[in-house]
Amino acid sequence: MTERVSREDYENLVEDVDAQLGGDVDVRDDYSGRYMYGATCLAVVGDNYVLEVFLDAARYYGIDARLGNMAQDSMGLSQVFYWPGIEVEEAV
């Protein structure tokens, strides 16, 4: 089952994570991981600390309860953590 995150919540989440990590974070609304066949989802690129900051911010915005199972892929020197069941609403 696919859950949707509002564009506003997504942008607030990105702004919060950016502020906590000094603006050098890669939160994506369009990641397509293994076996997703072109479908996109919510993702964050970084290490375990970045993931921890992201999850804390997701809790604050009430997104954490909808995240479901996380998947992880290697991305060079870092990791991409993604949630195949979470889509972000399109910008209007």
Amino acid at 81: F
* pTM for this model (two decimals): 0.88
Q: Which CATH number fits domain 3-88: 1.10.275, 3.40.50, 3.20.20, 3.30.70?
A: 3.30.70
Tally Cβ neighbours within 10 Å of residue 50.
Answer: 21
pLDDT band at 39 (very low <50, low <70, confident <90, very high): very high
Is 6:63 a contact under the CB 8 Å cutoff? no
Q: In terms of C-beta distances under 8 Å and separation of at least 24 residues, what long-range contacts does 18-24 make, across chains too? A: 20/53, 20/57, 21/50, 21/53
pLDDT tens readout for residues 59-84: 998 888 888 889 999 988 899 999 99
Q: Where are the domains of the chain?
A: 3-88
pLDDT band at 44 (very low <50, low <70, confident <90, very high): very high
Inter-axis angle of helices 48-60 and 7-20, nearest 10: 130
